[in-house]
Structures are given as C-alpha cells and as structure tokens.
Structure 1
Amino acid sequence: MTSLFKDPAFWTVVLFLAPLLFRVPIAVALGMSTIFVVWHWDMGYQMLSYSFFAGIAKFPLLAIPFFILAGVIMEKVGIAERIIRLIKQLVGDMTGGLAIATVIVAAFWGAVSGSGPATVAALGLILIPGMSNAGYDKAFAAATVSVASGLAIIIPPSISFIVYGDIMQQSVGALFAAGVFPGILVAGFLCVAVYIISRKHGYRGEPRGSRNEVLAALKDAFWGIFTPVIILGGIYAGIFTPTEAAAVAIFYGLFVGMFIYRSMSFKILYEILKETVVGTAVVMFVVACAGLYSWLGATVGLIDKVAGGLTSISSSPVVILLMINIILLFAGMLLDANSIFYVFLPILAPVIAHFGWNPIWFGIMATTNMAIGQVTPPVAVNLFVGARISGISMERIARPAIPLIIAAMAALVFITAFPEIALFLPRLMGML
C-alpha cells in the first residue's frame, strides 16, 4: 500500500478524478494534476510550456477553428432556419413528422457544424418552439433536438474525428468517409424511436404547404443544402484536404450571407467572430491540457499498466470490446469527447494493435459512444444546452430522452458488431 501511494501513476489518476467530483472544469483538472505530478517527482517542469504549445501546434488541428467558424456563419446567416422551413413543408402533418424532421435536420446540420452542443444551440431555438406549438410535449421536443444533435460528431465533418485522427495518426478523410453510414444508421434508429413515441401520443405536425410553397422553400434553402456537397464532395474527390475544406466552407458561408441572403452585417460578423473565438479557445485549451496529461500517462507508465491489465483480463476480443464500450459510455457521462480521446486512446492504442482491430472502425465506434455520452447524465452537455434553450429542467428532458438513448445504443451495437458499416465507403473510395 505504501508503494502505491508513492507511485506517480496512482496520483496521476487520483489528482485528475478528485477535482471532477467538485465540478472543477475538465481542462483545469487535467492540467493541474499534470503540473503537480511533474513538479513533485521532478520530471522537468520546464518542458511543460513547450509541450503545451506542441500539443496544439499541429496542422490537422487547424481545421477545428475553421469548422467552428463555418458552423457559426451558417447559423447566423439564416441557413439553418431555411433548411428547417423546407423540411417542415415536406413532412407536413404526418404522424411524428416534425420529430422525424428534427432528426433529419440534425443529421444534415452535423455535416456543417461538427459539434453537438453547437447543433443544439443552432436548431433548438427554432425547432423546440415549433414542435411545442404543433402539440408536441416540450420536454420531448427538447430531448429529440438534444439527442439528435449528437449526430453532429458522427456525421462528417466532425471535430472529434479530427482529434482522433491526430492522436492515432489516421487519415481524417478516411474517418470522414467512415462516419457517413454509421451516422445514417443512428439517425434511422432515432427516426423509428421518435415515430413510435409520436404515434403513441398522437403527435403530428402542421399541414403540408402547396406545391408552390414547397418549391419556394426548396429554392430558398438550396444554398444551405449545397453546403455539405461542397465540404464533403471536395474532400472525397481529392480536391482539398479537410483543413482546406473548412476554409472553403467559411468563404462559401460568407458569400451566401453577403450576396445571396444578404443577412450579413457588421453586428452579425462581430457575433460570429466572438462565438468562434470562445468556442475555439475552449476546445483548444482542453486539447492542450489533455495532451499534457497523455504525455504524463506515458511517462509514469500509467498507459502500459492499464493496457496490460485490459489485455490480461481475457483473451476474447468480444469480451474486451464489450468492456471498452462500457468504459467509454461511462466516461462519456462525465467528460467531453476530446478529453476522453486524449486520456483513453493512448491506453487503448496497444489494445487495438494487440487484437488487430481496424483503427478507422474503432474511431467510429468510439465517437458513437461519445455522441451517446453527450446526452447521458450527470454531465449530458447536449441536454444542458437543450434545457437552457427550452427553459425547462434537465431532469424533465432526461426522462423522454431515455428511449432515444436506447435507440442510439442499439445502433451502436450494429456498428460494433459489423465493422463494414463503417469501412465500406472508405474501402470503396480507395482510402483503406
């Protein structure tokens, strides 16, 4: 026991977990635990500033602020509102139409935003009141928007894919391609779930518009619908890299806002830049501190100990895979996706290599876990944003979210059991 208390690996874990119990921000818990262990065991604290900078000074991570900026632009210039209007016209008053439309719009917006909470914020302000006014229970409406917005980190482009690709040295383009069918699969399961719930409670939408109204909505939303085509089409066609695609998306959004919708103003531009700076600072601070923590874990032998412990539990890949899924699901209840990747992936990388698992498929499976974690209490960042927008408590939203979470978990089982769901498209495109 005495040797355990003298082990820096032990204190690396304890000093990270203990502050989380007191709701200390994740980045602070990661950074302070690293600084203390490095200082106390004299591991060369002078290198921390260099390591902090080196953790974020990477070209693939440049796509993160670009995609955040692109997503904010698309929201502020009115693209989200026009897409929602079109979907509402198409589904009309069919049973569960607005709920199904919410899932579809969230999946589509995930191809623009790349962030779950940002998708809740962008769509919730419009969809939650719209569903409530059409007779849907407001808590169910908020839960649907919150859970469906988790698709944003599965449907490419995804900030989580960028972080995963950087840590695991995998092609971000291949990860983007691999996320398409799993994202559609999760969206399909959610559509079935919201339809069953809507049918049980008699939830319907508003009457469908005339043919001319539908065509007018389609014409108005065309430029927004074309956004994922430019981003993903350019990447898959080899025209530009994911980072370059993010930059193209920014200029495209500015063009649409200034010359097509003419909704851009200096005030809106200031709001766009402010939200982007804040969002980027939060993500990159977490990435930098989590990178320090990962380096410390490798230095003190924590990664080797945990990885060795996992592989020694069982020789069955099914058992280990089940354990990993459970660990990631529980971790998703407490931490954000990027922190989880930096903390757990260095530990899991030897396990992935030991069993010969495809790292691209594993990344999709792990990210799906993160998407579910975003709506699973106690942290449930998506539910928190949905509660703030709707003005009702997170406890009320959590109840109708349970069947939707179960539907997402069912999709996760398929993604885990059948890797080709994720690998088919990148293989077809010659990325694997």
Structure 2
Amino acid sequence: MEANHLLILAILIGALATTVPVFMALFFTGLVGLTFLVGIDPQIVVEVLYRSMDKFALIVVLFFVLCGNIMTTGSIVQKLIKTANVVVGFLPGGLAMAGILACGFFGAISGSTVATVVAIGGFMIPALVQNGYDEKFSVGVMTTAPILGVIIPPSIAMILYAMVTNDSVEALFLTGFIPGLLIMAAMSLYAYIFCKNKGLATQPKPSFRDLVAVLKESIWALLLPVLIFGGIYSGLFTANEAAVVACFYAFFVEIAIHRDMKIRDVKKVVVSSAVTSATLLIIVAGASVFGEYLTFEQIPDRIANAVVANIESPLVFLLAVNILLLVIGMFMDIISATLILTPIFLPLLAKFGVDSLHFGLLMTINLGIGYCTPPLGVSLYISGAVVDRGLLYVSRAVMPFLLIQIALLLVFTYWPDLVLLLPRLIYGYGS
C-alpha cells in the first residue's frame, strides 16, 4: 500500500474515531485525496456533489421515507400490529411473533430499519414487558426483527445498490422476499420454543368473528403493500411511481378514512420527511466524493487484482466478504457502506462468478445486521432508550437472534438458487 493511501486511510479512520459525522468524514477525506494527492481542480468536487444527488433513482427513496412517516403519524402501524396479533397472538410467544410479523408488514412499506425499530419496537417492547415477557427477550427480538425493513422490499439500501450497479430495482427487490420470510419464520420459531419452555401464559384464541372484525378494520392498511407490489410486478407502474402512489394512498387513508391524521399534521410530516431525506442525500454526496477519489486512484481494480491473486475459491471469497461486511457494519451505516463498498466489490463478482443480485442481497443482510451490533448499531441505542438500559445489556439481549440471522445468512450465501428463485420465475433472470 502506497504512502498516500495510508494517509487517506488514517484521515478517514481518525475522523470516524473522533465522532466526526460519517458524511463529513467521507467528504473531507475525499476532498483531501482529490485536491492535494490527485491534484485535480476543486471545482470537480462541486460537480461530483451535484451529480451524486441528480439521480432519478433517489426519488423513490424520498417518497418511501415520506410514506413511512405518514404511517407512523397515523394509525396504520397500530392496525398492522393489531392484525399480526390476532393472527398469531394466541400461540406461545404469540405477542413476540406478532411483533416480528408487524416488522415484516411495516418493512414492506417503509424500506428502513431505523423507521421500523422506532415505529414497531417503540410500541412492542413495552407491550411485551407488560404482558409478562422477559425484558431481555423482548428487547432482543424487537431490536433485531426490524432488519426486515431493509430485506423485505421496498428497501432503501437495495435501491442505492441498484443505482450503483445498474441492476433492475424490481428484480433486486424480489431477492428479499424469500430470505425475509425465512428470517421471520426462524425468529418466530425461536420465540415459540423460548416462551413455551418458560411456561408463559397465552392469549385466548380469537373467534372467527373477531378475526374478521380486525381484518375489516385493518383492510386499508393491509392493502398498501398489495398496492405497491401489485402495481410494480403487474407492470402498472415502476418502483418510483409506486412510491408516489403509496404516499398519496397513505395520506388519503389516514385523513379521509381512518381520520387519525389532520390536515394540520401534513406540514409536520412533510417537513420531518424532508429533513430525513436531506440527511440521506448528504450521506450520498459525501460518499460520492470519497468514491470519486477511489476511482481516480483505481483502488477498486487494485483490490480486485489483489483478492484474485490470493483467493481462488468463490466459496472462500464469499465467506471472507461476509466477515468483512459484518465488521464494517459495526462501524458504518448501511447507506454509506453500500455506496462506498459496492464499486469496490463489483469488479470481483464476475471474476468469481457471483451474481450481482445475489451479492446485493448478501450485502444488504450483512450491513442490516450492523444496526444491531456494537459499538455503533443504531437499533441498540433506540431499544436501550425505550427500556432505559445500557449498550452492554442490549448487546447481550440481541445475541440469540443475531446468531439465527447469521446462520441464515450463510444459507443464503451458499444457496444462490434460493435467493434468485423469484427473479428467475418472474423475469426469467439468468436463464
């Protein structure tokens, strides 16, 4: 490694270690590299910033953020939780299963892990504790289940990955359905066994009339993911258009049908979404400047050549990448990591015969797990604040569920046909 590269690495690690915001650390490191080491005109950096945010694919991210905020402000989230509870709440560990199922429902609309842990975890953790569930178990399950927000489509991380690789967003979305359902099933099975062994009292089984009543009450909320995916995969509209349609639908349902959102709340929701979206765009911009430096120095190609020279087996390559991504996920958010690492790994995929859609799913799960790993896992701090517990307590609480997710990650890693089943069936991908 050259002296210049070591200097850039030291600047980046030093900035992150001193708690400089990630986007600023990436931006200033890239700026130093481009202007002082590469020697290009600083005006090029301005052009890079503009180009990074002038991308049509980012529109879908902004509208799904808005849709998630609409649901959180209104009653769609509560209705999804109520529906999940009436479906599985009577089983041992049923309320925990309902929380997992609700995370899947919400993830199928919002596309964000953080939004899911705030909306579902903030409500379900106190509810589980109040119903006699072990606090550590409650914190663990509702801290890790929100990973479904980035696995079950639409996923903001997948959208950004597809933006870099030029893969079909719709096809990439399809890779998340089966893994998402398997993660839900495995976590629910663990909850069932854990709570049954504890002898936890179960809720009474709802009557058919109660089930119909809840489904009738929640029908408008349940139709939202149907509208999104039905519209996308029927060809009625694109993923970008689906995000806009979902926002208008959610606004209409909350204001005109549920009437849990007032007209005066619209401004607050839009402003909050704008702030969140601006934060994402700033991260994209900072990562793009750093990525431009990597491109100028041809670092992705150098890494690719070094890896190919030292690793021959695709199986070993995938294992090494999984370990690397899990470690990176402990220190970097999924948006920044996706934008920076994807161009580095992309040249390696063809050389090892790894499908880019398959790899996109693996990267998403790996970095999604990072939300629940110390020291910088955002979900750990959110859940800790809900129960007023420290980082060490929450980190211990999530361990059983993280082991389940990592075990399934290995299954998805070495069984690509499972991940690519739906893209092949619907789009004939790779055939």
TM-score for the superposition, normalised by structure 2: 0.96
Is the 1:139–1:392 Cα contact (8 Å) retained in structure 2? no
Counterpart contact for 1:150–1:372, Cα < 8 Å: yes
> Of 57, 68, 80, which aligns to 2:54?
57
Q: 1:61 to 1:431 in 2, by over 3 A?
A: farther
Residue 272 of structure 2: which of 275, 280, 283 is its match? 275
Moved more, 209-218 or 365-374: 209-218
**187-196 or 419-428, which moves further after superposition?**
187-196
* Structure 1 residues 160 and 175: CA distance shift in structure 2, 3 A: same
Aligned match of 1:110: 107
Instruction: Kindly provide the amino acid, as one letter, of the partner of residue 273 in structure 1.
Output: V
Q: Secondary structure at the match of 2:109?
A: coil
- Secondary structure of residue in 2 paired with 1:378: coil
For 2:428 and 2:21, how far apart are their aligned partners in 1? 38
Q: Does 1:363 align with 2:360?
A: yes
CA offset digits 1:268-293 (Å, max 9, x no partner) = 22331132012111111111111111
Residue in 1 that maps onto 2:182: 185
1:4 aligned to 2:2?
A: yes
1:303-339 CA deviation, whole Å, 9 max, x = no partner?
2222222111111111111101100110111111111
Q: Distance in 2 between matches of 1:281 and 1:208?
A: 46
Per-residue deviation, 1:143: 2.0
Match of 2:156 among 125, 136, 159: 159
Q: How many angstroms does 1:213 deviate by?
A: 2.8
Partner of 2:239: 242
Q: Tell me, what secondary structure is at the counterpart of 2:20?
A: coil
* Other-structure match for 1:221: 218
- SS of 2:62's partner is helix
Q: What is the alpha-carbon distance in structure 2 between the residues aligned to residue 269 and residue 232 of structure 1?
A: 25
Work out the CA distance in 2 between the residues paired with 1:62 and 1:87.
Answer: 31
Within 5 A, what are the aligned runs for 1:84-103? 84-103=81-100
In 2, the alpha carbon distance for the partners of 1:337 and 1:394 equals 20
Equivalent residue in structure 1 for 2:170, among 169, 173, 191:
173
Alignment of 1:341-356 (within 5 A): 341-356=338-353
**For residue 30 of structure 1, what is the aligned residue in structure 2?**
26
Number of residue pairs aligned between Structure 1 and Structure 2: 428
- Which amino acid in structure 1 is aligned with residue 194 of structure 2? I
Task: Choose the corresponding residue for 1:44, options 35, 41, 45.
Answer: 41
Give the TM-score taking structure 1 as reference length: 0.95
Q: Check conservation: 1:99, 1:194, Cα contact below 8 A.
A: yes
SS of the equivalent of 1:162 reads helix
Cα distance in 2 for residues equivalent to 1:315 and 1:121: 43
Alignment match of 2:403 (pick from 403, 406, 411): 406
Mapping for residues 261-340 of structure 1, pairs under 5 Å: 261-340=258-337
Give the CA deviation at 1:431.
Answer: 5.2
- SS of the equivalent of 1:429 reads helix
Aligned pair partner of 2:9 in 8, 13, 16:
13
1:421 corresponds to which residue? 418
CA RMSD of aligned residues (A): 1.5
| Distance in 1 of aligned mates of 2:308 and 2:167 | 23
Among residues 194, 202, 215, which one is paired with 2:199 in the alignment? 202
Q: What CA distance in whole angstroms lies between the structure 2 residues aligned with 1:23 and 1:313? A: 34
- Listed one character per residue, the Cα deviations across residues 31-78 of structure 1 (whole Å, up to 9, x for unaligned) are 111112222222221111111010111111111110000111122110
Structure 2 letter corresponding to 1:413 = L
How far apart, CA to CA, are the structure 1 residues paired with 2:302 and 2:401?
36
- Contact 2:89/2:98, CA 8 A, preserved across alignment: no
| C-alpha contact (below 8 Å) 1:52/1:291 kept by paired residues | yes
Q: Which amino acid aligns with 1:178?
A: T
CA distance in 2, matches of 1:431, 1:123: 36
Contact 1:163 1:338 in 2 (8 A): yes
Spell out the pairing of 1:382-397 with structure 2 (5 A cutoff).
382-397=379-394
Residue type of the partner of 1:21?
A
2: CA distance between counterparts of 1:229 and 1:169? Answer: 26
1:367-422: CA deviations, max 9, x gaps? 11112111111111112222223332232222121000000011101111111111
CA contact (8 A) 1:88 1:208 kept: no
Residue 83 (structure 1) aligns with: 80
